[in-house]
Amino acid sequence: MELSKILAPEAVRVTGHLTSKKRLFQELGDIAAAAYGLTAASATDGLQERESLGPTGVGHGIALPHARLHNLPGIQGVFIRLEKPLDYDSVDRQPVDLVFALFAPKDSGVDHLKALALVSRTMRDASICQKLRANADPAKLYAILTETRGTQAA
């Protein structure tokens, strides 16, 4: 599995100031709707429902919100770089500025977990995060995220 298979160039954005996690999820839902034809409300609701089970802020300024949705043809991603970090209730209590959301079909099973592991490995790479934080052009961000890398252990 490669990020280029689950992340469309039009699903990568740089966003200014968002005031809350709820507003971030709405933005992610809107981008998913524009890029993939999802219903913005169902995407937003799915992210909020999953987040109610526990925070998806994994630390180091990174959040990996995800949701399983009905009537989704495959796993799809949305990436946002926030210009102003947002309080996210992350495990390390640090605000987030890099957000990679995943939307998967309800019955995706192990494929959803594989995609989440791929995104997690990518976002744990300090050099990738440094490049993401240094760029404000969505096309460059997409290129950084989808650059082919060697196989890594989970």
Catalytic residue numbers read 66
List beta partners, residue 104: 68
Using alpha carbons only, what angle is made at residue 142 by residues 137 and 146, rounded to the nearest 5 degrees? 155
Task: Please name the helix (run of DSSP H) or strand (run of DSSP E) that holds residue 124, with its range, or none.
Answer: helix 110-124
Compute the residue count for the chain. 154
For 46, residues 6+ apart whose C-beta sits below 8 A from its C-beta are: 67, 68, 69, 103
